[in-house]
Structure 1
Amino acid sequence: MITDVHGHVTPPELLKRFPMPPSLGDIDGMVERKAALGITTTVVGSPVGAGTMLPIPGIDNYAQSADSLASFHDWVGETVRDKAGRLAGYVYLNPLDGTAAVDRAAKLLAEPEFVGLIVNSSVRGEFLDDARSDEFFAMAAETGAPVLLHPPAVPVGAGAMKAVGAIEHVVRPCDITMGVAAILLAGRLQAFPGLKLIAPNAGGALALLAEKLDMAQRRDNVDGPPISQQLRQIYVDTGTPSVTALRAALAVFGPDRMLFGTDSPPLATPLDTALDAIDQLGLSEVDKEKVLGGNAAELFGLRRVV
């Protein structure tokens, strides 16, 4: 069983409204392509809810109504049910949005179709070290739901970079890096024991910054275990084309914290290339099975699909 913990889907009406890749609506095609390669299950959701990952003037992804988000999650739940174990769902919310949003997300997590949470690593230029995230982290810790910290449509630094390709492939991994670092330096893992955080894209550049994060921790007199040790509590997915980055992630996070992920849809990297990258890591058969599906099955409570 191979489980992909990082896929995205979008309802037909949003594809008509916003300029997004058509692959986000090709649910049947996604399931068939992955099944042909032995990828039996994909955990899917949207990092923008009923919004769009392509920045559009006048569209604020964080101004979605409760009704629009409810409709979106109804569609995700129906899509997951329709695929009989081939899909599982993420609940989307703005983690800085307060009690009502957190309560709605917690109720959705009680539904069997939803197995985790997907939130942005930054919100309107702010990271999740802000105290307004406390209610969200408390709920995530209490429910035990894994949290995919996905970069937003407009990551920190996007205005300075401007080019769409650079924002997508350079700035967003940087947002992951800074967002997770901010969470760790704010002591969130100590304040909310049991948090299960997933950093996509092999954790951005976190694997290269362990010692620098320790230096930042000492410089700012931040209590708690060294950040380099806390990194071993973070999960990362393998959604990067760089085998070098995967090897660094393996060394820093360890095989028990790596999850197979493709960011597909919409990412167009061939799925067989993503699987081949795992083969190039030189893992034992036991560790390879963990990365490809065992870790995800345990983390998300997924049943085996054949």
Structure 2
Amino acid sequence: MSAVYIDVHGHLAPYGETGGGPPSLRDPAGSLAAKRALGVRMTIIGSPVGAGSMVPGAAAGNYDQPADRVRAHNELMGELVDRFPAELRAYAYLDPFGDEAMLGQAAELVKDDRFAGLLINSSVRGEYLGSERAADFFAMADETGVPVLVHPPAEPSGTAGLHGHHGLIEHIARPCDVTIGIAAIVAGGWLERYPQLPLIAAAGGGGLALLAEKLELAVARTPGRAASGPRLAGRAVDSLAKVYVETSCPSEAQLSANLRVFGSGRVLFGSDSPPLLAQLDRVTGLVSALPAEDRDAVGWRNATALFGLPWPG
């Protein structure tokens, strides 16, 4: 049987919104046909900026979008799912540091079957989600019980030092932001407080699989040094083991490390496609080369179990 995939990390621009980005973002029929040819039967799409911009500099106002504008964007995403119900589901985007209206409308949207989960940024204006300011978000997300895709922001922390080098921002800084963002969530104790909360780290989790031991050191109490920041009651690696990662970084080394550290039951097929359609065959190739049991788990079984989706065959 040919390999089959459910893609938990894709993007499409909804009808009615204008903006930049490659043409594939605004060609849902063509993009889905290209994915179908490689075995991708369903994609969960979302915008990591709502109706804002992914272009550094132009993205400065992303977090100034009020709840009603974010809801309008999410509803347009739902309408896109209506056009392709067999092949699309959507994430409801929100600012995790947003107000009660922002959190409340996201919680309402995920009661709609078109929305499979929530999408947040790994940092917001340079602040990571280990902060107690994220308390209301984590309580809401845990109550909904839906998966949360932790996606890098348009402007990761430290972007200013890259002097507008968009390639480094997109392919290096963003995975690093996810690495630090998930580490901050673990260090903040959120996965101890909410052990059933399903978090998916985009960008393959960045470097998390290589840094589990360093994360343990980072949160350890050091004799002679004053305590600072949040403290875990247990081990950081136990919280890290609750995280899911996806496959959108086309790296055999990262996929191998993720399978070793997280296990095949915690790795999900994700492609970041669109916009990265040109890399899709590399990602499917890496997963299709896995032993059959791991290939099917990563390719679609884990997604059907986590999101409650039907068999994609």
Unaligned ranges ≥5, structure 1: none
CA contact (8 A) 2:16 2:76 kept: no
2:172 is aligned to: 170
The correspondence for 1:9, drawn from 12, 16, 36, is 12
1:181 equivalent in alignment to 2:183: yes
CA contact (8 A) 2:6 2:312 kept: no
**Secondary structure of the residue that 1:272 maps to in structure 2?**
helix
Shift of 1:59: 4.4
**Secondary structure of the residue that 1:111 maps to in structure 2?**
coil
2:108 is aligned to: 107
Within 2, Cα distance between the matches of 1:298 and 1:8?
A: 22
**Secondary structure of the residue that 1:225 maps to in structure 2?**
coil
1:287 is aligned to: 294
TM alignment of 1:145-164, pairs within 5 A:
145-162=146-163, 163-164=165-166
**Secondary structure of the residue that 1:72 maps to in structure 2?**
helix
**Secondary structure of the residue that 1:14 maps to in structure 2?**
coil
TM alignment of 1:199-210, pairs within 5 A:
199-210=201-212
**Secondary structure of the residue that 1:277 maps to in structure 2?**
helix
Shift of 1:177: 0.4
1:84 is aligned to: 85
CA contact (8 A) 1:7 1:261 kept: yes
Shift of 1:303: 1.5
**Secondary structure of the residue that 1:233 maps to in structure 2?**
coil
1:197 equivalent in alignment to 2:199: yes
1:242 equivalent in alignment to 2:251: yes
CA contact (8 A) 2:10 2:274 kept: yes
2:218 is aligned to: 216
1:232 equivalent in alignment to 2:234: no
1:131 equivalent in alignment to 2:138: no
The correspondence for 2:307, drawn from 280, 290, 300, is 300
Cα deviation, 1:245-302, whole Å, max 9, x if unaligned, reads 111111111100000000001114332221111134x43x222111000000111111
2:69 is aligned to: 68
CA contact (8 A) 2:66 2:102 kept: no
CA contact (8 A) 2:67 2:101 kept: no
- Superposed CA RMSD in Å reads 1.6
**Secondary structure of the residue that 2:195 maps to in structure 1?**
coil
Unaligned ranges ≥5, structure 2: none
For normalisation by structure 2, the TM-score amounts to 0.92
- Give the percent of matched residue pairs that are identical in Structure 1 and Structure 2: 45
Within 2, Cα distance between the matches of 1:201 and 1:125?
A: 18
1:42 is aligned to: 43
Q: Which amino acid aligns with 2:168?
A: A
**Secondary structure of the residue that 2:275 maps to in structure 1?**
coil
Within 1, Cα distance between the matches of 2:217 and 2:100?
A: 35
Cα deviation, 1:7-66, whole Å, max 9, x if unaligned, reads 011135433xx3322211111011111111221000001000101111244840011133
Deviating more after overlay: 58-67 vs 103-112: 58-67
CA contact (8 A) 1:3 1:296 kept: yes
